[in-house]
Amino acid sequence: MPESKSRNKKKAAPRTDKSEAKALMPGESVNPRWLAPVMLGLMILGLAWIVTFYLTSSDLQLPIPQIGQWNLAVGFGLIIVGFGLTTRWK
């Protein structure tokens, strides 16, 4: 009686532990730990600066009364720097 050909079973790929770090490809880098908090912090600070100025512009002209309408430029500057940091995000 002829023998049946035995099948070679494919070996299962070894499981990788999720706690292991992902291997980086050449030229690939990791985000610095400070990037996300600084980026979001600057954008939120800029928004808070502009909102504070608009809410107090008729009476106190906070955050810095001496510079008047330039408070808007400071707020938008903070937001722009925060968005500028997003270009470093990988």
**Claim: this prediction has a pTM higher than 0.75:** no
With CA atoms as reference, report the closest residue to 72 among 42, 49, 41. Answer: 49
CA atoms within 13 A on the CB side of 56: 15
17-61 pLDDT per residue, tens: 665 556 767 767 899 999 999 999 999 999 999 999 999 988 888
Which pLDDT score, from 0 to 100, does residue 89 have? 87
Q: What is the pLDDT of residues 68-83, one digit of tens each?
A: 999 999 999 999 999 9
The pair of structure tokens assigned to 2 is: 């002829």
Q: Position 7: which residue type?
A: R
